[in-house]
Amino acid sequence: MRAELGKLSLVSANEIPIPEPDVSAEHPVSEHWIWVGPHRPACPRALVEHMTANWQIDKPSSEVHPAATYNANRRTRLGAQFPNTTLVIPTGNLKVRANDTDYRFRAGTDFYYLTGCHEPDCVLVQTTDANGLRSTLYVPDRRDHHTHEFFTDARYGELWVGARRGVSEATEYYAIASAPLEQLAKDLATLDPNSVRTVRGFDQSVDAMIAPHEHDNHLSEALSEARLVKDDFEIAQLQLAIDATIKGFEDVVRVLPAAQDRSERVIEGIFNLRARVEGNDVGYDTIAATGSNATVLHWTHNNGTVRRGDMLLLDAGVECENLYTADVTRTLPISGVFSPAQRRIYNLVLAAQKAALAAVKPGVAFNVPHDAAMRVLAQGLIDLGILSGDLDTTMRRDRQLHRRYTLHGTSHMLGLDVHDCAQARDDVYRGELHEGYVLTVEPGLYFQPNDLTVPEEYRGIGVRIEDDVLVTAEGALNLSRALPREPDEVEAWMRAIWSAGTTDLHL
Ligand SMILES: [Mn+2]
């Protein structure tokens, strides 16, 4: 992709006449001009020469990615599952948000799990055969000062978007053999199509290079299932993300008085600010739902008004630099004190969560904590007069009337993705829990504001309590336990933050 810059000397201003641009996509260069794209004026060759010369070259860094050893082990384990096969795992491409601006790029999870690489367009290719495992990371050529794209390409040019790692830098940093992406199609063409599997749907150009195979899904299943058990690095990263999330919840409480009578977006903004301030991002759109918006499970409009007598359901998670995300929910009284009705429903959900948490341990089926939570909630709904009949009838597989108010499952896996390991086979995902799994425990009750089966005092109340739990050898460790859950503790925690003084954010 280098511009063919012949050996021309700079042209002095009084040497006229220079011919008008006569370049095009078909004839991209001429003696005096270089074509740089549609709707763009041709670029003077003299400027290209000036812009691409006399830059100091930094000494290569010897830094290595903190997870490089873990990534190599993951590639080895994956390769062992696919003998005599080439696996092609793309990260995906930039996606247009509007016209010529893209969304912030977030690496494909499977690709990232095996490489630690954040750059768009890259592709991991690994082959296991009689000679063992060979992995190659295909990375795009740099758009540095060796090409006019350095300053003429606003999407990739390094003067526009910053330097990134090319082949030699990637080899060093990710501790993996690397090759130019531009060589990928040629290399894949030499392979027997029957021996290639890929993860489809991330990169159209890679999908087009590889004939579909009936067992392509085995690769994404294997990758999701490999991620079920978290290694030490992953558990530490999840704890970092959770700790940063707890700070965000504290920030939200701190500004809650200032957010009253304002939009829920004040709350969303404060949580997300904490994520950004610490060099992180959010793992999913923050749900900042007050009042009856809390009964909308994925309320991300966050445009309701924060009112003193209501509760705030805040479902938010920081995604750390290495892409592991927290997923935590607390339901807080905006005034700092639960009303009796709010407290009654809150305590019911808390009892369900405790029942579920107590059930998490190795060897039990994925559904056991959920069933424990649902029995508590269903009994509570009967006690409140919302459901009639006895518990066993309510819980019967062919009845399940409590689900009008509980709405969702109690747990999902958590890791690089907020809903992690989603491509795992169902009998594996929903099979027994094992040491090293990380899952959420998040029962809820949701009384729609117009639900005529619910006593009026509870209509519009939505409560969810969500923690992130590591399955240990003996049982479970609640990684988000530092965030208060007991209603008295929640109220005391809010009081303590407020009595320490609110920050003046000029909201
Ligand atoms: Mn969740």
C-alpha Rg value of the chain to the nearest Å: 28
Domain membership of residue 100 (yes or no) is: yes
- Residue 450 and residue 334 share a domain: yes
- Cα 247 to Cα 116, 217, 316: the distances in Å are 26, 39, 11
Q: How far is the centre of ligand 1, averaged over its atoms, from the C-alpha of 492 (Å)?
A: 25
Q: How far is the centre of ligand 1, averaged over its atoms, from the C-alpha of 465 (Å)?
A: 10
- Percent pLDDT > 90 in the chain is 88
Domain membership of residue 484 (yes or no) is: yes
Of 178, 207, 224, the residue at which a domain comes to its end is 224
Cα 365 to Cα 434: distance, rounded to the nearest angstrom: 9
- Residue 181 and residue 265 share a domain: no
> Are the beta carbons of 345 and 458 closer than 8 angstroms?
yes
> Are the beta carbons of 375 and 355 closer than 8 angstroms?
yes
Instruction: Give the other-Cβ count within 10 Å of 359's Cβ.
Output: 21
pLDDT of residue 169: 95
- Percent pLDDT > 70 in the chain is 95
Domain membership of residue 382 (yes or no) is: yes
Of 175, 199, 224, the residue at which a domain comes to its end is 224
Domain membership of residue 11 (yes or no) is: no
Q: How far is the centre of ligand 1, averaged over its atoms, from the C-alpha of 442 (Å)?
A: 7
Q: How far is the centre of ligand 1, averaged over its atoms, from the C-alpha of 412 (Å)?
A: 7
Q: How far is the centre of ligand 1, averaged over its atoms, from the C-alpha of 466 (Å)?
A: 7
- Residue 421 and residue 300 share a domain: yes
Domain membership of residue 145 (yes or no) is: no
Please give, one letter per residue, the 3-state secondary structure of 428-452.
HHCCECCCCCEEEECCEEECCCCCC
- Residue 258 and residue 214 share a domain: no
With both helix axes pointing from N to C terminus, report the angle between 232-259 and 487-499 in degrees, rounded to the nearest 10. Answer: 70
Q: How far is the centre of ligand 1, averaged over its atoms, from the C-alpha of 418 (Å)?
A: 7
**pTM (two decimals):** 0.93
Q: Tens digit of pLDDT for each residue in 27-44?
A: 888 889 999 888 888 999
- Residue 477 and residue 394 share a domain: yes
Cα 282 to Cα 298: distance, rounded to the nearest angstrom: 15
- Residue 241 and residue 135 share a domain: no
Q: Tens digit of pLDDT for each residue in 210-228?
A: 999 888 899 999 999 999 9
Domain membership of residue 505 (yes or no) is: no
> Are the beta carbons of 420 and 326 closer than 8 angstroms?
no
Kindly state the tokens that stand for 94. 């930039």
Q: Beta strand pairing status for 132-139 and 177-180? A: parallel
Cα 33 to Cα 183: distance, rounded to the nearest angstrom: 29
Kindly state the tokens that stand for 18. 């220079």
Domain membership of residue 457 (yes or no) is: yes
Which residue range forms the structural domain that includes residue 492? 232-499
Exposure on the CB side of residue 483, measured as CA atoms within 13 A: 31
> Are the beta carbons of 221 and 425 closer than 8 angstroms?
yes
- Residue 270 and residue 202 share a domain: no
Q: How far is the centre of ligand 1, averaged over its atoms, from the C-alpha of 83 (Å)?
A: 36
Return the sign of the alpha-carbon dihedral for residues 453, 456, 459, 464.
negative
Exposure on the CB side of residue 396, measured as CA atoms within 13 A: 7
- Residue 267 and residue 214 share a domain: no
Q: How far is the centre of ligand 1, averaged over its atoms, from the C-alpha of 284 (Å)?
A: 10
Domain membership of residue 42 (yes or no) is: no
Which of 210-214, 301-305, 437-441, 465-469 shows the lowest mean pLDDT across its residues?
210-214
For the chain, give the number of residues.
507
pLDDT of residue 425: 97
**Chain centroid to CA 400:** 33
Of 224, 248, 272, the residue at which a domain comes to its end is 224
Q: Tens digit of pLDDT for each residue in 171-210?
A: 999 999 999 999 999 999 999 999 999 999 999 999 999 9
Q: Tens digit of pLDDT for each residue in 293-338?
A: 999 999 999 999 999 999 999 999 999 999 999 999 999 999 999 9
Buried b (16+ CB within 10 A) or exposed e, 393-420: ebbeeeeebbebbbbebbbbbbbbbbeb
Q: Which class for 233: exposed (0-12), middle (13-18), buried (19 or more C-beta within 10 A)?
A: middle
Q: How far is the centre of ligand 1, averaged over its atoms, from the C-alpha of 316 (Å)?
A: 9
How would residue 57 be classed by pLDDT, with cut points 50, 70 and 90? confident
Return the beta strands (E) in 181-310 as ranges: 196-198, 281-282, 287-290
pLDDT at 15 over 80: no
- Residue 243 and residue 184 share a domain: no
- What CATH code is carried by the domain that includes residue 369? 3.90.230.10
- What CATH code is carried by the domain that includes residue 121? 3.40.350.10
Q: How far is the centre of ligand 1, averaged over its atoms, from the C-alpha of 467 (Å)?
A: 8
- Residue 415 and residue 318 share a domain: yes
- Residue 238 and residue 191 share a domain: no
Report the number of distinct structural domains present in the chain: 2
- Residue 188 and residue 253 share a domain: no
Q: How far is the centre of ligand 1, averaged over its atoms, from the C-alpha of 409 (Å)?
A: 9
Mean pLDDT, residues 399-410 taken together: 97
pLDDT of residue 342: 98
